[in-house]
Structure formats: C-alpha cells, structure tokens
Amino acid sequence: MSGVWFWTLAGMLAIYAALDGYDLGVGSLHLWVGRSDHERRVQLNAIGPVWNANEVWLLAAGGMMVVAFPRLYAAAFSGFYLALIVVLWLLILRGIAIEFRGQIAHPLWSAFWDAAFCVASLLLALLLGVALGNVVRGVPIASDGYFLGSFTIMLNPYAMLTGLLSVVILGWHGLNLIRTKAEGAHGERARRWSSGFWWAALALAGAATVATLNLRGNMIAHFNAHPAAWIFPLLALTGFAVSRRATEGRSFAGSTMVILGLLGAAAMTLYPVLLPSTLSPDYSLTITNSASGSHGLLVAWLANISALCAVAAYSTYVHRAFRGKVRLGPHSY
C-alpha cells in the first residue's frame, strides 16, 4: 500500500504542476507578454476562474503526506521550513494581486499589483523547481531522521538548474495557455514567444537529464528494471514533438505532456526512496521506513481518492465552462 501512496502523491503533485503551472507561467511573463492594461486583464481573466482550484492539488498532497508518510513530512517540512514559508507567502501574494488589482481604477494601483503578481509567480516557479532538484539530489538527513543543514545548501548548482528549467517550462506552458485565450496581436505575440521558449525548454530539459544521469549513475538500470517507467521520458519527448509548430490546443497539450513526463521520470528516478540522504544511503527516507500502518494507509487512500474525484469533477466542469477566447465584460478582473 505504501507504493500505491507513493504514486498517488506523485500523481497529485504532477497534476498540480500541470494545472497551476500555466497560472505560474502566465504570471511570470505577465508584464512582458501583456503590453497594455487590456491584454493584462485578458491574461488575468484567462486564469481567474480556475487558479484557486488548481492550488487545491498542492495543499491536498501536503496534507496527505502527513497521513501516509509522517516521517517524510517531519523531515521535509522542518528542513525546508524557510522555503515553505516563503512559498506560502508567495501563494498568498499571488491571490491578493489577482483579486485586488481591479478594486481601484488607477494606473499606479494596477501597475503595483501587476508587478507583485509577476514577481510572486516567477519566484514560485523557481522555488518549486529548486525544491524538486533538492529532492532528487538528496539532503543531509541523519540516522534519526533529522535534517542537518540550512537554507543555503539548497541553492546548489543542480537545484538551480532544475529551478531554471521550472521557470522556462512553466513560462512556456503559460504562453501556450495565452495562445488559446487571447486574440489578435496578443495571441500572435504569445505564439512567437512560445516558439522561442520551446527551444529553451528542450535545451534545459536535456541539460537536466544529463546532470541527473551524472548524479545518479544507476538511473538507466533503474528504469530498465521497471520497463513500464520508460513511458515517462517517452511522454515528455512526445510532448515536445506534438507542440512544435502546432495549433493552439496541441501546443498546450504538448507542454502538459512534457510536464507530466518529466515529473513522472523524476519520481521513477527516486522510487522507492522518498527523500535521499546525502550523508548515507542507509539514512534515506523510503516508502518502507516512513509509512504509516497498512490499515491507516488503506482507509486514508480510499478517503483521499473519493475527495480527489470530486475535485477533479469540479475542475473539469470549470475548465469546460470557461473554455474558449477571453472577452472582457463588466465584471472582469
């Protein structure tokens, strides 16, 4: 059952990255792709109906970690405490910026919240990528499960590479969303930028793959031992191929496939380890030494899946209800 929970949490985080990823991408490029107040309002209204529901997947994954893998929760949330507090404040700032921007009709007010939305989104994309890089690389966990280190050790070259990859891929994902939502020069600008970001995402994904192979020399053998896992890198490669010079919908589908494929490959690189220890492999937190009791795992998983089905149904409905081009009305952001 612990293995089922590993892939359930990995799936929840991957869905979060694919859904809230385009929100972060739109936000991180908000000041540059949107050249006028009208274009920026279009971008905000493209994500306005869905951004808060997209974040539910991250909160649910963090909450379920307490139930499924309490030792992992204790080590990760204590070791990454400062980073997590920053992430929470940035999430709050993004929400405030979206909701407050249109409350006062003044250019300085709008410009301030546009900048806040952009900076918060950019830093969030970077920090989430850095966190993933540190999980793959490993952190100093002692034999008693305590994190030994400081925030500065997380800013290592490998983690910064994955952070940059996160910024670029999520920016590309956000541009693909804007292509499906904006019209005229705005949509055409997003298309041109998306083409450039495609090359940058491909180059950084290749660099991160090489760096991961260098970091974890047994990665290929690990994938060969689980042949079905090759579906993840193949999914990412297919996503890149599908989105190259593609239509609006196919481009967005392609970047979604890349995100899911890369995160699935990262999870498979670790499995069955949850959080590697750089001090000794024996100190690593795994699905065996970090899991709750089998009965508790089963009951919690059934409850979790039931709730996630409701969230997925609501998210699907909202996305379908607000599909198509954005046309501003009197109650728009």
According to the model, what pLDDT value does residue 128 have? 93
Report the chain (333 residues): mean pLDDT per 10 consecutive residues: 89 93 94 90 90 88 87 81 88 91 87 94 94 89 77 84 96 94 90 93 95 86 86 94 84 94 92 86 85 85 90 91 80 66
Q: How many CB atoms lie within 10 A of CB 66?
A: 14
According to the model, what pLDDT value does residue 44 have? 92
With beta carbons less than 8 A apart as the criterion, state whether 255 and 178 touch.
no
Per-residue buried b or exposed e for 74-88, using 16+ beta carbons within 10 Å of the residue's own CB:
bbbeebbeebbeebe
51 Cβ contact list (under 8 Å, min separation 6):
20, 23, 94, 95, 98
According to the model, what pLDDT value does residue 331 have? 63
According to the model, what pLDDT value does residue 254 have? 94
Q: What string of DSSP letters covers 231-256? A: HHHHHHHHHHHHHTT--HHHHHHHHH
According to the model, what pLDDT value does residue 93 have? 93
Q: How many CB atoms lie within 10 A of CB 286?
A: 20
